[in-house]
Structure formats: C-alpha cells, structure tokens
Amino acid sequence: METDYDILILGGGPAGLTAGIYAARARRRVLILDTGTLGGQTVLTHAVANYPGVPTTTGRELSQAMAQQARDFGCEIKAFARIASLDLSGEVKSVTLKNGTRLTARAAIIATGGVPRTLGVDGEDRFTGHGISYCATCDGDFFTGLPIAVVGGGNSALEEA
C-alpha cells in the first residue's frame, strides 16, 4: 500500500510536535498538520519555567524550538492547514484539505489539544498571558502573594484556587 506519509499528525502543539519528533527519529515519513500557528496553547504562555532542562523561556520560543527540532529530524509541517474531511477507517488514513489536496498515511495521531473557556469580556484578549491565565498549574507561581480572582464553575474553580 503506497501512501504519501507513514504518519499524519493532526495538531501542532507540544503533544503533536513531540509525537512527530519521535516518529521521525524512528525514520517514519511524518506530516504534522495544524489549523493555526504551531505550539497550541503553549504560545499563549508568557513564561515557561517548569520545562525540565530548559531555562525560563516564553511559550512561543519553546514552541518554535520544538517545531525546529521536528523539522531537523525530517518532519514536514503545515501550519494554518484547512481540513475539509478526514477518513480514518481502513488501512489507509486520509485527510482532504479545503484546497482539494488529499494526503494519505498508514497511521494517524490525533493531538488536537484543548481550548480554554473564555469569559468574552472586554480586554480579555489583550491581557491573556499578561495577568489572565487559564492554567493555575502552569502559571500559579507567578501570582503568589498577589490578589487574584478565580472564575469558574463547580468544584474545578475551587480546586484551582
């Protein structure tokens, strides 16, 4: 069975880029597709201080380094890809882009990540990563000793506080 790639990875955040690095190191033909900029939610992180072996950096810089490492190992990467349809049944997996290009592989990895639930208030976009955070585990230390507000529903907001 002839395919364009061995593995199609849908999602160019940390999980997708890491999967690509490992697959390419195993000499697989890899394509990473992302519908936006590479790095996922990591690019929104102002300071990453908890990544082992890496001095404090920005989420954007870390994402760029991961993407470059994936390319260095031979991954092909398409950011801002517009996917029209997927067919993950059968031996050959396929992705059809909105421009009509059909891409095939023997395997697919879904690494589409998550999207934070926003409030939709004025200024929220401007202050995301500069006072507004969607990950207490990631960013909580930056706010130690400062007055904060935690917004959320159910037990999760209380646990994050």
Give the residue numbers marked as catalytic.
Answer: 135, 138-139
Q: 23: how many CB neighbours lie within 10 A of its CB? A: 23
Distance CA 1, CA 105 (A): 10
DSSP, collapsed to helix, strand or coil, labels residue 152 as: coil
Contact (Cβ atoms closer than 8 angstroms) between residue 52 and residue 69:
no
Q: 107: how many CB neighbours lie within 10 A of its CB? A: 17
Distance CA 23, CA 6 (A): 9
**Nearest residue to 107 via CA among 133, 88, 130:** 88
Tokens encoding 112: 């589409």
Residues 6+ apart with CB under 8 A from 137: none
